[in-house]
Amino acid sequence: MPTFVLQNDGEKPPHSEPPFLTDVNDAQKKAVLHTDGPLLIIAGAGSGKTRVLTYRIANLLYQKKAWPNQILALTFTNKAAREMQERIVDLIGEKANRIWMGTFHSIFSRILRFEAEHLGYTRDFSIYDTVDTDRVIKSILQELGFNTREVKPQAVRFIISNAKNQLISPEAFKNKFVQSSLDDIAAQVYERYIARCRQNNAMDFDDLLIKPIELFEHHPEILQKYQNHFRYILIDEYQDTNHAQYRATQLLAAGHQNICVVGDDSQSIYSFRGADISNILNFKEDYPDSAQIPLEQNYRSTKSILQCADSVIRQNTSRLDKTLWTQNDRGEIITVLENYDERDEANRIVRSIEDLKMREHLSFRDFAVLYRTNYQSRVLEDAFRRRGVPYQLVGGISFYQRKEIKDVTAYLRLLVNPHDDESLLRVINEPARGVGEKTITNLQQIARKHNKSLWDTIGDVESTGIYKPAIGRIRDFVDILERTGKKLTDTGLTDTVRFLLDETGYVKQFVEEHSHDSLMRRQNVMELLNAISYFEKSSNTPSLSAFLQEISLVTDLDAHDTDDPAVTLMTVHGSKGLEFPVVFITGLEEDLFPIGGRSGEDVDIEEERRLFYVAITRAEKRLYFSYAKNRFRFGEQVDMNRSRFLDEVDPSVVRTETGATIRQTGSPGMAGRSGKSGTYISYDQSNYDGNAGAGSDFHSESYDSAAPADDGGGMGVEYDQNTGEIIWRSGMAVIHKKFGPGKIVQCQGQGDDARLTVFFKNVGQKKLVARLAQLKVIG
């Protein structure tokens, strides 16, 4: 049970400001010192969000508003949680380790362990990742007689996962949400899938978010316990919360109402996982008494980089109003690298890095190469290896998703949770011991008939009447596990696992086979053994079940080592929250970034644009865009068109390597056609001289004055040469008599007849006809 400590009501909180509050600006300070009541912090990229969050928690403790373990801080990655925790420890000492700080999944699974019995689970439940889930779904599909080549388990998983995150039950889904034949199939699978998980005493990633809601709604007394306990709740990256996360935290916060959420709608990049932007957009409605503090000063990037980022993101229509600015230098111009193909691209990048490192006395750790899809990493790795430049690949196929690791952990899961049929199926013939497909289906049928788990069924294989030669082999399997289980109670964790590996001959199969592949696999298993050994020594609860829980929720992203003097290679998604002096964004091609929709599915171009925005804003000093004209895809060379995003970028801050500007022929707001036709590179060799406002603080409102066709001096308003009508542009700052200052988000037509969508600081977004609105252009 968690320790529930009463608040220290008697003690008087200190009235002075905390001593650590020296290096913050006014907005940050306001956010830190705000303690009670709901608070929304809109934190633009690089605006010192983590600092505010850590100071805010430290202040709550300093002001004696709560004990450390009465604070709940939720993040999306373990790494973010760990970093924040470390920083708070630096501020207020070791007691910060008692804060409930972690990812939604890890914190909720912790609560679920405590309360498992209330949900009909035991505290040793297994956690299924997507690989496990796909296997379960596949087997259900096969049972239902579907061809799993035509009906892809992943597609079904996707539909089910969406339904779960929307808190739609199988019954409700069947009645209301079936719109296609695939939906119909998913509806059939959904119910069985839930039943199967329950029988296996297993929860998938979605369950970790949903089950707490079920728990709270069915057991008000338990909800109340947690409501009372968590006096302050903080949520990072609120724009990425899905409906389930929203609902769960809403329930928890309902008591004290001390909920502080931090987010940036411009960085919402997880809608494919059910993230719902409206959670952050509607925070004000959910909590009418909430305060709202925007953090708009950027401390990370140069003016050029920020200008570039803003020129991209303002092409999106739906966003909260905010204006990022910085006092940093204008910095270097952004460089576009055009390449023949992906190998050319990779080599060019590696050479640029070596070059820049020498010239600017940088370390390899100052560089990051970002890409849209994981498979792009392969060519890059090749190039880095060939030139001997150290690199660190982050993400990709997670260590814990590798086949050999999943096999070993399936054995371990089975020890802790014998009713986990999925894990049993995974290893009953691994390594091959003569228990094949036929035997397994027979066993499953028998188990179903007696309504028993597979483990219970094979406990008495002799009486099952299955294929005779298999009986002895299964007996061996059961024996090994039973002896391993005994070993676990007698000796330590590491020894037990070593014993298991010996008995099963799992490692031996790799030793005997002398391929490169098997060597790698063996090394990976040894790596796992190391991890177990380390866990056993360092954890204060060194149980097998604790270890399994921990590894099921870590990702390779968490392994990113910022001290390692190596270039970081990762996806744009993985880079969120990080910063690097030099960033390369690669593969800027149509159908890659922005990604192309697969078979009929349409892509959310605004989300892709936000993704591009996230990538740009990772850069501190220098930024490179690169694309290839040809790329090897699906086993063949394909002609690629450069990304439309390159056409949307403010041309005044970007140059090709030769110093040419990149320009677009269409109007800036009209992106959408594929790249090549609408663009050209003009080879004017004029040096980059910044724009008219260079030297003054950079504001996004001044962007359009830097547009190529402009004189650069005046108000930046353009008029049609024939009619003399004003040409409206998105991004223009205007003033309305009634609504006050605002910014044009979208425009259609010119002159008085134009229809404009304007975002006003005070009243929000409005649609106007120019003639009636009487807008005054201010920049």
Let me know the angle formed at the C-alpha of 216 by 207 and 159, rounded to the nearest 5 degrees. Answer: 30
CB 429, min distance to DNA, A: 6
Q: Note if 237 is an active site residue.
A: yes
Q: How deeply is 772 buried, as exposed, middle or buried, from its count of CB atoms within 10 A (0-12, 13-18, 19+)? A: exposed
Query: With contacts defined by CB under 7 A, how many residues of the chain interact with DNA?
Result: 54
Residues near 246 by beta carbon (within 8 Å), at least 6 away in sequence: 276, 279
Closer to DNA by CB, 120 or 635: give it: 635
Backbone φ and ψ for 625, nearest 5 degrees, come out as -105, 140
CB 118, min distance to DNA, A: 23
- Binding part of the chain for DNA, among 246-254, 308-316, 397-405, 737-745 by CB under 7 A, reads 397-405
Sign of the dihedral through C-alpha 115, 118, 120, 122: positive
Within positions 600 to 659, which residues make up the interface with DNA, using CB under 7 A? Answer: 601, 603, 633-635
The answer to the question of residue 375 lying near DNA (CB under 7 A) is yes
Closest CA relative to residue 78, chosen from 603, 759, 552, 630: 552
Q: In this chain, which of 95, 218, 351, 378 binds DNA, going by CB under 7 A?
A: 378
Within positions 484 to 543, which residues make up the interface with DNA, using CB under 7 A? Answer: none
Q: In this chain, which of 253, 369, 416, 557 binds DNA, going by CB under 7 A?
A: 557
Tokens read off for 564: 């390692």
The answer to the question of residue 148 lying near DNA (CB under 7 A) is yes
* Residue 596 labeled ligand binder: no
Within positions 246 to 275, which residues make up the interface with DNA, using CB under 7 A? Answer: 269-270, 272-273
Strands 619-628 and 580-585: parallel
CB 240, min distance to DNA, A: 10
State CA 16 to chain mean position distance: 38
Q: Note if 498 is an active site residue.
A: no
* Residue 494 labeled ligand binder: no
The answer to the question of residue 202 lying near DNA (CB under 7 A) is no
DSSP per-residue letters across 650-693: -GGGEEETTS-EEEESS-TT---S-HHHHEEEE---PPP---TT
How many whole angstroms separate alpha carbon 282 and alpha carbon 279? 5
Backbone φ and ψ for 379, nearest 5 degrees, come out as -65, -40
Closest CA relative to residue 309, chosen from 779, 731, 737: 731
CB 300, min distance to DNA, A: 21
* Residue 122 labeled ligand binder: no
* Residue 621 labeled ligand binder: no
* Residue 439 labeled ligand binder: no
- The neighbour count for residue 719, using CB atoms within 10 Å, is 12
* Residue 161 labeled ligand binder: no
Instruction: With beta carbons less than 8 A apart as the criterion, state whether 592 and 631 touch.
Output: yes
Q: In this chain, which of 62, 67, 100, 104 binds DNA, going by CB under 7 A?
A: 104
Q: Note if 50 is an active site residue.
A: yes
Sign of the dihedral through C-alpha 653, 654, 655, 660: negative
The answer to the question of residue 149 lying near DNA (CB under 7 A) is yes
CB 596, min distance to DNA, A: 9
Q: Note if 267 is an active site residue.
A: yes
Q: Note if 644 is an active site residue.
A: no
* Residue 45 labeled ligand binder: yes
Closer to DNA by CB, 461 or 744: give it: 461
Closest CA relative to residue 618, chosen from 267, 290, 378, 293: 267
Closer to DNA by CB, 607 or 648: give it: 607
Closer to DNA by CB, 621 or 631: give it: 631
Which residues sit in the known binding site? 43-50
Catalytic residues: 49-50, 236-237, 267, 618
Which residues sit in the known binding site for ATP? 43-50
Binding site for DNA (CB under 7 A): 76-78, 103-106, 129-130, 138, 147-149, 205, 269-270, 272-273, 372-375, 378, 395, 397-398, 403, 429, 432-439, 442, 467, 470, 553, 555, 557-558, 571, 573-574, 595, 597-598, 601, 603, 633-635
